[in-house]
Chains A and B, each alone.
Chain A
Amino acid sequence: EVQLVESGGGLVQPGGSLRLSCVASGFTFNTYEMNWVRRAPGKGLEWLSYISGRSNTIHHLDSVKGRFTISRDDANNSLYLQMNSLRAEDTAVYYCARLAYTNSAGGPRYHGMDVWGQGTTVTVSS
């Protein structure tokens, strides 16, 4: 079964740090580009971070640049989000999501985020 399982959420004080993990199973993790997306209470979905295979390309939302860092460990089928200098507005459910693709003569064609984890809750509060 294709699956993503997040962990690492919890209660943290403002200014604190957390490291979220996402373990993949059921597919060849190192061939997929991965993302983190969050949903704050009462708000909509917000894309946060992207990492390509082999970590060649990384993108972050401006509001988390310099505070959050996405990384991956392909040997352990794992994706991470290191979150530092946390703020109350970072309180949310955090999801990892796989970017689907198919190979074509002209290179990979991407098909949206087709597999999502169950989410891990981060609460930033004193």
Chain B
Amino acid sequence: DFVMTQTPVSLPVTPGEPASISCRSSQSLFDSGDGNTYLDWYLQKPGQSPQLLIHTLSYRASGVPDRFSGSGSGTDFTLKISRVEAEDVGLYYCMQRMEFPWTFGQGTKLEIK
């Protein structure tokens, strides 16, 4: 199985400042057949269901603010928030869907300083 490792576990951020979360996969998520990298990012806000932020490495889901961006290649990935807002608090997860079983990182808790 693909093992997904996220850092940091906890991320305190001052509003208006940038934030970055790293995710590493035990195997490459790049599909040379179609040129896609099968890495998604999800956010679970307190008391809510998870929501899709970024799919296929770098594509923002519908309605996601452009302060969120995804990047990386192969086995190393980053979610960046250009300017954190209070509403961004919650648990962030990367997930690979290169191969079943799909696997999530352990999560990164973003909190406001």
Q: Which A positions have Cβ atoms within 8 angstroms of B?
A: 35, 37, 39, 44-47, 50, 59-62, 95, 97, 100, 106, 109-114, 116-119
Q: Which of B50, B91, B101 contacts A116 (CB 8 A)?
A: B50
Q: How far is the CA of A55 from the CA of B67 in the complex (A)?
A: 38
Contacts of A116 on B, CB cut-off 8 Å? Answer: 49-51
Q: Confirm or deny: B32 has a beta carbon within 8 angstroms of a beta carbon on chain A.
A: no
**Nearest-CB residue, chain B, relative to A37:** B50
Please provide the chain B residues from 38 to 56 with a CB less than 8 Å away from any CB of chain A in the complex.
Answer: 40, 42, 44, 49-52, 54-56
Contact check, B59 vs A47: say whether CB atoms are below 8 A apart.
no
Contact check, A111 vs B59: say whether CB atoms are below 8 A apart.
yes
Q: Confirm or deny: B20 has a beta carbon within 8 angstroms of a beta carbon on chain A.
A: no
4 closest Cβ pairs, A-B complex: A112-B55, A47-B102, A112-B40, A116-B49
Q: Which B positions have Cβ atoms within 8 angstroms of A?
A: 34, 36, 40, 42, 44, 49-52, 54-56, 59, 61-62, 91, 93, 95, 97, 100-107
Contact check, B101 vs A62: say whether CB atoms are below 8 A apart.
yes
The number of A-B residue pairs with CB atoms under 8 Å apart is: 66
Contacts of A46 on B, CB cut-off 8 Å? Answer: 104
Cβ distance B68 to chain A, nearest Cβ, rounded Å = 13
Cβ distance A41 to chain B, nearest Cβ, rounded Å = 13
In the complex, 22 of the A-B residue pairs with CB atoms within 8 angstroms, ordered by the A residue number, are A35-B102, A37-B50, A45-B42, A45-B44, A45-B50, A45-B107, A47-B95, A47-B103, A59-B100, A62-B101, A95-B49, A97-B50, A110-B56, A111-B52, A111-B56, A112-B40, A112-B61, A112-B97, A113-B52, A114-B52, A114-B61, A117-B49
